[in-house]
Amino acid sequence: MLRLSRLIVLASAVVALVGADRVDAQRSQADTLTGKPPIVIGHRGASGYRPEHTLAAYELAIAMGADYIEPDLVSTKDGVLIARHENDITGTTDVGDRPEFAKRKTTKTIDGVEYTGWFTEDFTLAEIKTLRAKERIPELRPGSAQFDGLYQVPTLQEIIDLAKRKSIETGRVIGIYPETKHPTYFDTIGLSLEEPLAEVLRRNNLDDADDPVFVQSFETANLKQLNKLVNVPLVQLFDEADAQPYDFVVSGDPRTYGDLTSPKELAKISEYADGIGPFKRLIIPSQPVDKNGDGKPDDVNGDGQLSEADNRLAAEPTSLIDDAHAAGLLVHPYTFRNESFFLATDYNQNPEAEYEQFFRLGIDGLFSDNPDTAFVVRNRVACGTQNPKYSQQGRNRRVWTPGGTGNPCL
């Protein structure tokens, strides 16, 4: 019942804002759960252009039209939530070049996988603040790598402060979409993520159903815990079909993410979450090409390595969007990236083709490393217009968020 009431809040906010006639008109353009245009989520900020999870990346994502910015959350030694994709910060900071921290290099097992490097939980916030961020995949993003060494690692509070400030400056509400990373692991070392997250949200008056916040996780138990701590919308993430939530691994639950996509399991998820964040290939599968029949994937583009660019899409999408919507769940797939390395061969190296395909299927939003591209295609598809104001000036127009403050199609 709690979940249903949250959806009612979201839907009623739109009707009150733009009027029933406008909502009905938009429904024909955006076949989403509520009939509203889908949201654009700046994945780790504008991480296609700046080192991920930096204030610069988040600020650029907002300037490019993102409705939400996404910080992945891990903990410092002194219990402060900071934004890093992993608690292993070897590849995203300059910690390896800091002789004062050389002895902190260690080997740990995180979610059943062994890693050697430097980890956030071994550093105080003050020590983390001495580090500088760097591009995670410089070979694919040399432009972003030019900004290596310039930016600090931000705290969740700093990201919220940025979103609030930019909301005032742009006249549109900027939402936050935090993800708790490795919650089971952090629980085992006495640095639980859920209570500090709930406290930060409450302190910033961001813990109600109509606030511009989504909280997401690949695990299930922590989302159920958060469902008791906060009243913001929660999103259950899905990894590849044969993978498992790590809390399932620990508890001996044999179900996989693929199992969780069934209508029966989606109905169970709707009891504690408001949406799902599936790996996009759970919606439109792809598979390697094997033209010569040797049982090995072909290097279709001849670049000497196998990637999504060598795969072909399935002829038809799965029923996941329809099944999730039938359960009352929003659908926010991930991750959309412009580089051809990440694009199935069917898209002919045109990222807009992928965005358009998913928007037309009725997703409620998506995570993008390139929010400028997502913004333009979203407005073209959902608003049914080629008008330049929706691709340029529109970035400073008021846009719809769960808080109900505007709409990109107005």
Looking at residue 336, what DSSP letter applies? Answer: B
Q: Is 53 a catalytic residue?
A: no
In three-state form (DSSP H/G/I as H, E/B as E, the rest C), the secondary structure along 122-158 is: HCCHHHHCCCCECCCCCCCCHHHHCCCCCCCCCEHHH
Tokens 């390697």 correspond to what residue? 288
Examine the residue annotation and report whether 85 is marked as an active-site residue of this protein.
yes
* Rounded CA Rg of the chain: 21
Contact 247, 222 (CB under 8 A): yes
Residue tagged active-site, from 43, 53, 182, 332:
43
Report residue 261 as tokens: 């996509």
DSSP state of 240: -
Find the Cα–Cα–Cα–Cα dihedral 69, 14, 27, 314, rounded to 10°: 30
Q: How many angstroms separate the CA atoms of 248 and 222, rounded? A: 12
Burial of 348 (0-12, 13-18, 19+ CB in 10 A): exposed
* Buried b or exposed e, range 56-70, using 16+ CB within 10 angstroms: bbbbbbbbbbbbbbb
Active-site residue (options: 85, 182, 325, 332): 85
| Residue (of 41, 12, 18, 17) closest to 275 by Cα position | 41
| Catalytic residue ranges | 43, 85
